[in-house]
Amino acid sequence: MDNLYNYILTIADNCLILGQRLGELCGHGPSLETDIAVTNISLDLIGQTRSYYQYAAEIEGKGRTEDDIAFLRLEKEYKNCLLVEQPNEHFGYVIGRQYLWDTYHYLFLSELQGSADEILAAIAKKAIKEVSYHKRFSGDWVKRLGDGTNESRGKMQEAICDLWPYVDELFDMTGVGTDLIENRVAVDLSALKEAYYEQVFELLSEATLDVPERKYFIYGGKKGVHSEHLGYLLTDLQYMQRAYPNMEW
């Protein structure tokens, strides 16, 4: 059960951290419509997180709740990839990060729907409907900014180049027990890689953006080795629960 518990965290922590990062933008979007859309994506991700953490708490069997798992872990205990914790430098970064994640997330959930674990499969079948919209939203904005003004193209290109070193970690199998792959519980991430890059390259071409030439990638998030940004994010995320332990609404 430990392998399954840890595997769920490698999925759920991404949704929690990205949902929190997007939540920071509530009231700060470039337009009312976009602000509401980004906030709704944040809520979708937090909703998915709850489903995963509830299942994880049940599997763990230590009497912890979804709130305990979300709010009472140390930074090194989070297993999210580095991409989702990167800060909201400007709107181009928000959209670039979202598209690079959404493309992966959609492919991942497409496969997780076929998991031998009925609960994970059910979560994936529900979540993929939301993620289909996320992917369309972020992809449309990448094209709009990339094929827009000189300034918008420059900012979108800057974001893609800066975020690119974190992309390959999405396919890192750290934290996934081989038994979960063999028993068709977990998704073999390496099988998603070719389709992912094909889709991303195609959209960047449509957006008149260049594919970054960097050949090195940064790993560590799935092992609990995070960037300096996660600690600040967790300070905001966990403040109320740590300041007022066992608080209930």
Q: What is the pLDDT of residues 74-97, one digit of tens each?
A: 999 999 999 999 999 999 999 999
User: What integer is the mean pLDDT of 47-53?
Assistant: 97
Mean pLDDT, range 15-41, rounded to an integer:
92
pLDDT tens, 206-224? 999 999 987 789 999 999 9
Would you give the distance in Å from CA 108 to the centre of its chain? 11
Per-residue pLDDT tens over the stretch 116-145: 999 999 999 999 999 999 999 999 999 999
Average pLDDT over residues 4-25: 96
Yes or no: say if 130 and 121 are a contact pair by the CB < 8 Å rule.
no
CB-based contacts of 137, cutoff 8 Å, min separation 6: 37, 41, 98
Structure tokens at 82: 């580095």
CATH architecture entry for 2-243 = Up-down Bundle (1.20)
Average pLDDT over residues 164-191: 91
pLDDT of residue 249 exceeding 70: no
**Tokens representing 104?**
């992966």
Residue 30: band (very low, low, confident or very high) from pLDDT cuts 50, 70, 90: confident
pTM score, whole prediction: 0.95
pLDDT at 227: 95
Q: Average per-residue pLDDT in the chain? A: 94
Dihedral over alpha carbons 196, 82, 215, 111 (to 10 degrees): -20
> Domain extents for the chain?
2-243
Residue 236's Cβ-side half-sphere holds a number of Cα atoms within 13 Å equal to: 11
Q: Which carries the bigger pLDDT value, residue 33 or residue 87? A: 87
